[in-house]
Amino acid sequence: MKNEQYILAIDEGTTSVRAILFDQQGSIVGQAQRPIHQFFPQPGWVEQDPLEIWNGTETVISEVLFQTETPPYKVRAIGISNQRETTVVWNRKTGQPIHHAIVWQSKQTNEIAEHLQQAGYQTFIQQKTGLLIDSYFSATKLQWLLDQVPHAREQAEAGDLLFGTIDTWLLWKLTNGHVHATDVTNASRTMLYNIHTLDWDQELLELFQIPRTMLPTVHDSSHFYGYTQEFTLMGVQIPITGIAGDQQASLFGELALDPGQTKNTYGTGAFIMMNLGHEPQLSEHGLLTTIAYGLNGQVTYAFEGSVFTAGAAVEWLKDQVALVQDVTTTATQAEQAAATDQLYVVPAFSGLGAPYWDQNARGAILGLTQQTDDKQLIRATLESLAFQTRDVLQTMTHETGLPLKSLMVDGGVSKNEYLMQFQADILGTTITRAPLAETTALGVAYLAGLQVKYWPDVATLQALPRTTTSYQPQLAASMREWRYANWQQAVAATRLFAEEPHDGTTNSI
């Protein structure tokens, strides 16, 4: 339609940045993608170049408009979704970053996090932020930059430096430095934001020694942030009206907007998020409490639990043990496998996440017999993703008292038919797969579009046609519970490993 307008979603992930155009039906009109390089200065450290991220963003915006022959004036609004927690500090006068961005999975601030844990700050921080102390979040990264980059702290205290997660950095660049802001979802992942008062917490700022002048203004996820400036998009000023962290954007893209509605994004890891409604609840079993989105002046909260190894376990089958040449064939091979009811793969390659939080656990294969073959190992590996998901969901339903009526799924690994059916079987509930894998981009497009009335209200979004794929449980309840009890025994076996000796010695026979 020649006169139709579109919403442009910038989907800035850990390894690439994409620009996607959506029409009023929530369908993709076009997309462009560029990779983002990662730097590993030391083992466990992960960094990126903020200027490369910005240049890549400019490029994909231009590419998607060119490829679809869409003039910029047909873009009604822009939304930004982003890899969360990744930390950028730049000079407000020059616009130059003072250091590479420290990526969310980087471990270079472990020492700071461990010091806080040993000092007994866990409850203090969780009660304010809903988060567990970890180098994963932005606060330790920001403190590290101020302490390690020469003259950074004195410049920050003089008011010359700005902090932001990637959404804030891109917003600042798109508006030519006129807007320094973020949304409530990204703020809630910094470990500096009080999710009850909805403000930067002064006690936390003092604990981490962060000048308040560095911090962005916080708004709803659906909000008018500002306009693109003249030098971008051929001089057309387009409103930027939606921002959300990637997992929260995915929840909104799934339209999981009622308390108890839950989604799982199966990627390298699996990110499970349950809508809690308008009242936050703190977990006693290792779940994170986070802000799901801010809409119409009201905040919605969520529980989040992460499975460290999901798609990475499938890649392991190909890259490390060479059981498959193409991961897309794993569903077929699992279907062909002989029964594996007593074979379990626990892919605790880097420890166990929620609800166990055991960094000393190590991966294991249990139930091997002389007849065990490659197809059975493939099948058991896929099943491990479903078992780990149940671990988290069972914790969520126990803590909230909310029943799991269904699970909405997305992400690349959700295309695996065997896994999706087994997930339904082991949960005893319906699995609904989104029609689009790009639910993160769709979610932030929805948020941006709502603000400019491209879609008048949430009811309009819910009325849009969606061709979902559903999976119904087929396993008998007794078998489901027997299999899950065996899984729990297998997990217990992986937790028998002791910490490595600190004197550098090894045991030998």
Q: Which residues are annotated as a binding site?
A: 14-16, 18, 84-85, 136, 246-247, 268, 311, 412, 416
Enumerate the known binding-site residues for glycerol.
Answer: 84-85, 136, 246-247
Closest to 79 measured CA to CA, from 472, 331, 330, 441:
441
| Beta-sheet strands, E only, within 175-221 | 181-183, 193-194, 199-200, 217-219
Burial string for 259-288 (b: 16+ CB within 10 Å, else e) reads: bbbbbbbbbbbbbbbbbbbeebbebeebbb
| Inter-residue contact 168 to 183 (CB < 8 Å) | no
**Beta strands at 16-22 and 6-12: parallel, antiparallel or unpaired:** antiparallel
Instruction: Please state, in angstroms and rounded to a whole number, the distance separating the CA atoms of residues 11 and 442.
Output: 9
- SS3 assignment for 443-502: HHHHHHHHHCCCCCCHHHHHCCCCCCEEECCCCCHHHHHHHHHHHHHHHHHHCCCCCCCC
| Inter-residue contact 252 to 290 (CB < 8 Å) | no
Enumerate the known binding-site residues for sn-glycerol 3-phosphate.
Answer: 14, 84-85, 136, 246
Q: Which residues, in sequence order, are CB contacts of 52 under 8 Å at separation 6+?
A: 36, 37
Instruction: Please state, in angstroms and rounded to a whole number, the distance separating the CA atoms of residues 214 and 176.
Output: 17
3-class DSSP assignment, residue 192: coil
Q: How far is CA 186 from the centre of its chain?
A: 11
For residue 97 the two structure tokens come to: 């970053």
Q: Is the dihedral of CA 116, 117, 121, 125 positive or negative?
A: positive
Q: What is the dihedral of CA 401, 406, 408, 413, to 10 degrees?
A: 100
